[in-house]
């Protein structure tokens, strides 16, 4: 059963702690993306990777870091430097950069 999985669905952390969000895909897609969604707003791109061992900053990369050591995995770390980390985080993947992007179910992060 192919798809994109994100875990966990809900995540709670204390302010000042780093936290890593998981994203795995078994679609054999080359490109992967991380978006942030705030209530009542569209999706904003955090980081994206078009190939293993390479990634680029999106529009709101400050306070976040990523790695792409395997084609199937693209974890996102929300660092303590991110000023407003509470949000809904969405991972997506596509065959190539211009093709359809398919989204995972999302992780809702709450930092208090």
DSSP state of 73: B
Residue 58, interface with other proteins (CB under 8 A)? Answer: yes
Query: How far apart are alpha carbons 10 and 26 in whole angstroms?
Result: 22
* Nearest to other proteins of 66, 90 (CB atom): 90
Are 72 and 25 within 8 A, CB to CB? yes
Residue 106, interface with other proteins (CB under 8 A)? Answer: yes
Tell me which residues in 24-43 interact with other proteins (CB under 8 A).
31, 33, 40-43
Phi-psi region of 106 (alpha: psi -120 to 50; beta: other; left: phi over 0): left
Binding site for other proteins (CB under 8 A): 4, 6, 31, 33, 40-45, 48, 50, 56, 58, 90, 92, 94, 96-106, 108
């Amino acid at each position: 059963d192919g798809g994109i999985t994100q875990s966990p669905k809900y995540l709670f952390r204390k302010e000042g702690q780093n936290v890593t969000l998981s994203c795995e895909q078994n679609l054999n897609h080359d490109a992967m993306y991380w978006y942030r969604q705030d209530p009542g707003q569209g999706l904003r791109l955090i980081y994206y990777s078009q190939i293993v061992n390479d990634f680029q900053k999106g529009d709101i990369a400050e306070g976040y870091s990523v790695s792409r050591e395997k084609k199937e995995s693209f974890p996102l770390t929300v660092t303590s430097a991110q000023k407003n980390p509470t949000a809904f985080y969405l991972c997506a993947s596509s065959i190539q950069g211009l093709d359809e992007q398919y989204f995972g179910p999302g992780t809702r992060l709450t930092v208090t």
